[in-house]
């Protein structure tokens, strides 16, 4: 059980116990009134005669029939329950035997995307789920706790409902307490974990199968020249597995915050030049041209030069890999001044806060990226149309690592592309 699940479970138990405690204390108060005890003797020692809870108007306003949950939920009768219900970050609903809503907190209506106040309405109007409504009926009928997970269409959230019967002096339930936990984030994390395992298994399957086949062939003692070629292929497959493991380790450290960036004001031009020189031999083998626009007039950027060089090298490597022979790759850098924060709905680039930024771009004349794929290219293991990039290699982790590094500097990274006409990747860094 995760820490979040444990916390939510404890909160549910506390809410249920507080309502049961209030119910019993209220019954004691009514019994003491029947025996002629004064209000000051029957109320809790913490409630003084000059307290708002001890007031003639209040005593007259409380219903005299105290056999239902509705009577026990008078605001003055159970302040602890009301305080807890409003303080916790889970939805709380209380219904009577007819499944009419007696109480709900704001979190419940927010999670269910309902109108602010539905007290007095049927439970079905709030939950909008027939199965969830019938489950409350069964809990009130047999007094057994139940759980249910729903996914409302209005919100798309994953919500777990926990039903607890409410009794007065251990008799037939007179209502039910329903708590609502938002498990959306937990579900997404679990899905990401499953996807990671599946993707790693898929990426390892191909090189391991190749290695197994090559080893079996070598065991049959082939001619020396064939054995030499097979050993070279085995070395390539081992390098692919090693790269996958190294990049997974790097991404894990970035996502867990274990990578500390050494931020300092630095000129961007030398970082670009070093990255271009490292990738140039690969570009020369494909007769590609790398053009670098002058970036000498730019202010220094607040960055970790080695990490930004890693980002640039990754983008340049992709540009060389997906650009045909004789193509052109262009690297530019310029200043971007933003007077006010970008609106969240901006579509041409991720929204930026106000300030001065250095924008670096890497453009190519390669195969391009389909528009429907652009939003996902920075996900782990995501590869654009594997049929088109079958022989390109790579692990699908490079852009995910680049995204974490850029955002660790406070910048943003995005791309634009037209299929068949090349792609452009931009990322920003804060000016020092």
Query: Alpha-carbon distance 105 to 121, whole Å?
Result: 14
Question: What do you get for the CA distance between the two ends of the chain, in Å?
Answer: 45
Q: Which residues contact 147 (CB under 8 A, 6 or more apart)?
A: 160, 161, 162, 163
Contact 247, 401 (CB under 8 A): yes
Contact 362, 312 (CB under 8 A): yes
- Kindly report the pTM of this predicted structure: 0.58
pLDDT tens across 348-381, in order?
788 888 889 999 999 999 998 888 888 888 887 7
Give the tokens for residue 194: 């499953």
Average pLDDT estimate for 137-145:
92
Going by pLDDT thresholds of 50, 70 and 90, the confidence category of residue 209 is confident
* Mean pLDDT score across all residues of the chain: 80
Contact 358, 410 (CB under 8 A): no
Q: Which residues contact 124 (CB under 8 A, 6 or more apart)?
A: 99, 130, 133
pLDDT value at residue 138: 93
Query: Alpha-carbon distance 17 to 369, whole Å?
Result: 57
pLDDT value at residue 72: 58
Give the tokens for residue 255: 């996502």
pLDDT value at residue 53: 31
pLDDT tens across 304-324, in order?
999 999 999 999 999 999 999
Query: Alpha-carbon distance 146 to 136, whole Å?
Result: 9
Residue 206 CB neighbours (<10 A): 12
Residue 331, SS3 per DSSP: strand
Query: Alpha-carbon distance 239 to 46, whole Å?
Result: 73
pLDDT value at residue 114: 87
Residue 312, SS3 per DSSP: helix
Residue labelled with tokens 């007065």: 168
pLDDT value at residue 2: 58
Average pLDDT estimate for 169-181:
85
Report the range of poorest mean pLDDT among 154-158, 173-177, 294-298, 357-361: 294-298
pLDDT tens across 212-248, in order?
888 988 888 889 888 888 898 888 888 888 888 888 8
Query: Alpha-carbon distance 128 to 249, whole Å?
Result: 45
């Amino acid at each position: 059980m995760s820490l979040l699940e444990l916390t939510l479970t404890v909160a549910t138990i506390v809410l249920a116990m507080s309502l049961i405690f209030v119910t019993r204390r209220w019954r004691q108060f009514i019994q003491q009134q029947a025996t002629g005890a004064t209000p000051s003797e029957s109320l809790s020692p913490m409630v003084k005669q000059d307290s708002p809870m001890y007031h003639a108007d209040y005593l007259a306003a409380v219903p005299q029939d105290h056999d239902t949950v509705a009577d026990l939920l008078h605001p003055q009768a159970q302040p602890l329950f009301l305080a807890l219900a409003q303080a916790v970050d889970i939805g709380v609903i209380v219904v009577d035997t007819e499944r009419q809503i007696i109480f709900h907190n704001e979190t419940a209506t927010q999670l269910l995307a309902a109108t602010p106040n539905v007290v007095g309405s049927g439970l079905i109007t709030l939950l909008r789920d027939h199965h969830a409504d019938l489950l409350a009926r069964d809990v009130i009928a047999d007094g057994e706790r139940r759980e249910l997970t729903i996914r409302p269409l209005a919100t798309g959230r994953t919500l777990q409902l926990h039903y607890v019967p409410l009794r007065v002096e251990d008799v037939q339930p007179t209502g039910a307490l329903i708590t609502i936990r938002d498990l959306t984030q937990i579900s997404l994390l679990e899905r990401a974990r499953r996807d990671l395992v599946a993707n790693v298994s898929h990426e390892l399957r191909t090189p391991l199968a190749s290695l197994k086949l090559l080893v079996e062939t070598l065991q049959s003692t082939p001619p020396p020249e064939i054995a030499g070629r097979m050993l070279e292929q085995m070395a390539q497959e081992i390098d692919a597995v090693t790269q996958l493991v190294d990049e997974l380790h790097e991404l894990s450290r970035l996502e867990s915050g274990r990578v500390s960036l050494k931020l300092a004001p630095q000129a961007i031009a030398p970082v670009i030049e070093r990255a271009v020189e490292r990738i140039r031999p690969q570009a020369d083998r494909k007769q590609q041209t790398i053009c670098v626009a002058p970036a000498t007039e730019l202010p220094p950027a607040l960055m970790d030069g080695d990490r930004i060089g890693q980002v640039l090298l990754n983008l340049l490597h992709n540009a060389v890999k997906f650009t045909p022979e004789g193509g052109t790759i262009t690297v530019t850098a310029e200043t971007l001044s933003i007077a006010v924060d970008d609106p969240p709905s901006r579509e041409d680039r991720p929204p930026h806060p106000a300030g001065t930024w250095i924008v670096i771009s890497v453009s190519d004349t390669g195969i391009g990226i389909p528009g429907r794929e652009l939003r996902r290219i920075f996900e782990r293991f995501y590869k654009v149309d594997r049929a088109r990039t079958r022989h390109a290699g790579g692990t699908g982790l490079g852009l995910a690592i680049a995204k974490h590094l850029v955002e660790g500097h406070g910048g943003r990274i995005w791309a634009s592309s037209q299929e068949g006409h090349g792609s452009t990747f931009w990322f920003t860094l804060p000016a020092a």
